[in-house]
Amino acid sequence: QPDLVERLISVDVSPVVTTPVSKFSAYISAMKSVKIPDGVSRSAARQLADDQLRPVVQLPQLRQFLLTNLVEVEGRYVWRVNLEAISHHLADIMNFPVFHKPYPGPALFLGGSNSPYISPKDYPEIQRLFPKADVQYIEGAGHIVHQDKFEEFITAVLNFLPPP
């Protein structure tokens, strides 16, 4: 229902299948294998999880982002996100549904320059589905654009939105 959407911003996602460039499966496996003993402090639990994730998730910023999902429940540390559901449905999550009717409004595809998720090979499909799309990259940002380059991200979003 494109008439319900005034403008669209897609952050580091293209309307294509992204499974081939994704390391998410390895990240999920690493998160599932994290072991934290009961009764440790929050800071100790985060440090233990960080140490265990480091071999698979090399980028410190990405590890820190993943660690925001580590929570204490009844004295045990668990992941807030349902890793089982995500791992069983990762292909569905990483795919983009097939649409035939384009979205006619303004669209911004805002990617990180260090991320593979919006590629020049995706431009034809972006243009087909979003004919008024503008593709921009934030220099030095990875997939978690808003965390890597917060001020630049906010500036790009505010520049795209209409003035109040």
Beta strands in the chain (DSSP E): 8-11, 70-73, 76-79, 107-112, 133-138
On the question of pLDDT at 42 being above 90, the answer is yes
Q: What are the structural domains of the chain? A: 2-16+96-160 (3.40.50.1820), 23-90 (no CATH)
- Work out the pLDDT band at 22, boundaries 50, 70, 90: low
- Work out the pLDDT band at 95, boundaries 50, 70, 90: confident
Q: What is the pLDDT of residues 130-151, one digit of tens each?
A: 999 999 999 999 988 998 999 9
Q: What are the CA-CA distances from residue 163 to residues 63, 157, 158 (Å)?
A: 36, 11, 8
Rounded distance, CA 80 to CA 45, Å?
14
Output the CA torsion sign for 125, 129, 132, 138. Answer: negative
Q: What is the pLDDT of residues 60-69, one digit of tens each?
A: 888 998 999 9
Give the closest residue to 139 by CA, choosing from 122, 155, 124, 163: 155
